[in-house]
Structure 1
Amino acid sequence: MTNLPQRDFAAFLFDMDGTVLDSIAVANRVWSRWAESHGLDPAPILAVMHGVQAVQTIRRFAPPGVDVLAETAALTQAEIEEAEGTLPIPGAPAFLAALPADRWAIVTSAPRALALRRLAVAGIPMPSLLISADDVAHGKPAPDCFLLAAERLGFAASDCLVWEDAPAGIAAGEAAGATVMVVTTTHHAPIETGHATIASYEPLAVEIGADGRLSLSA
């Protein structure tokens, strides 16, 4: 854990995959199978597909003539069917359950159906607000998803703390003008970042002010 923010926030905006739950093994398996079915090397795809909308990755790597939308729908369905094995990030369920329902949201690049499935399998509390790939035209690293989440909660993005793990999501939080917390649980190498970092939610406590504002302590 490094450099917890020394201020309070109107709301917390959480990415999903790699931030409150770990679906990396499941996603890598499905994406590897998709790549191999098109004669592609999975490694370059797996290196960049986390944190961005599936349709963006398929459009980037699919061979000419592939129906991008049909491929995206089929891949999403495969991820839904293989969601078993998705695990919570340590401490995330209890941490989220302690937050006021109107002060946090899940903001994910996954389609809504896949997000709901993964949250349920991992035992993550269902948020009152879920912003998914279905809700924005421009996915991460564009800031649209975080701006929309903040707006629907009734706050400025600059008054929110974004929790992220992937470069695209970190960039989206920065572009939205939010403060960013980087969750490193699923990282296989140290990340160079000027943002605060945590490896687990277990050491964290949230303090809720009389005005509903949120602050963190260890």
Structure 2
Amino acid sequence: MHNGRSYGAFLFDMDGTILSSIAAAERVWAAWARKFDLDVETFLPTIHGVRARETISGLGIPGIDLEAEIEALTLAEMDDVEGIEAIAGAAELLVSLPPKRWAIVTSAPRALAARRLEAAGIPFPPLMVAGEDVENGKPAPDCFLLAARTLGQRPEDCLVFEDAIAGIQAADAAGMSVAVITATHRHRLDTWHPTVAGYDSLVATCDERGHLVISEAAGARIAELGV
């Protein structure tokens, strides 16, 4: 993957990247959409990878109390964790990484992220950049740049693991390398970045300089669609 490059840090999106929460999120958002007479089938694909703030604001619903709706949605999502589980190999890979060399970078509020990580059996990370930590959410690069800066790494030395278009665009805008996790994808994603279904085919090691290297496990096959 990425031709054997080494990295200063790995940055992981959460929903759809290290855990599967699509069913739970869509249950909550579908109920919310029906409240405002939105076409649920058309609306649901727009919620993934971005903050509720941008999702709701972009709808232009007249007279809506944005903060109240965000709070209500967050509470509803925290109540519904049925079916949330770790993506294959994610927890094992994360615990194998040096603590100061990785972070979770999510559009979710911190409280919701903690709830979903607990439901999936993934330990809380040494560093998390959550939705409320930046002024501009994905696809803006702010969240990934903040994570790199906090870890003391240059953006170009970071590898981002993502699953959603908004997150990939954010990582690209930050000048970072990207690996696309397709475990929760229902359709093929049109991307030039390398793709992999899950983490059980990946091994992380440190090179002689202490930099991180991600490689294929013996017998695994990663789809290299670009470098």
Give yes or no for TM over 0.5: yes
Contact 1:45 1:57 in 2 (8 A): no
CA shift digits 1:132-172 (9 cap, x unpaired) = 01100000000000000000000011100000000000000
Write the letter of the residue equivalent to 1:7.
R
Q: Provide the residue aligned with 2:72 in structure 1.
A: 74
Question: What is the DSSP-based 3-state SS (H/G/I as helix, E as strand, rest coil) of the residue aligned with 1:61?
Answer: coil
Q: Provide the residue aligned with 2:176 in structure 1.
A: 178
Q: Provide the residue aligned with 1:215 in structure 2.
A: 213
Q: Provide the residue aligned with 2:137 in structure 1.
A: 139
Q: Provide the residue aligned with 1:99 in structure 2.
A: 97
Contact 2:4 2:215 in 1 (8 A): no
1:47-126 alignment, distance < 5 Å = 47-61=45-59, 63-126=61-124
Write the letter of the residue equivalent to 1:209.
D
TM-score where L is the length of structure 1 = 0.96
Q: Provide the residue aligned with 1:26 in structure 2.
A: 24
TM-score where L is the length of structure 2 = 0.92
Q: Report the CA distance between 1:126 and its aligned residue.
A: 1.5
Contact 1:45 1:61 in 2 (8 A): no
> In structure 1, how many angstroms separate the alpha carbons of the residues matched to 2:214 and 2:82?
32
Indicate which of 194, 200, 203 corresponds to 1:202. 200
Poorly superposed stretches of 4+, deviation over 4 Å: none
Q: Provide the residue aligned with 1:162 in structure 2.
A: 160
| Residue-pair matches, total | 216
Write the letter of the residue equivalent to 1:47.
P
Q: CA RMSD in A?
A: 1.1
Contact 2:109 2:131 in 1 (8 A): yes
Contact 1:62 1:68 in 2 (8 A): no
Structure 1 gap ranges (5+): none
Question: What is the DSSP-based 3-state SS (H/G/I as helix, E as strand, rest coil) of the residue aligned with 2:23?
Answer: helix
Q: Report the CA distance between 1:4 and its aligned residue.
A: 4.2
Contact 1:5 1:216 in 2 (8 A): no
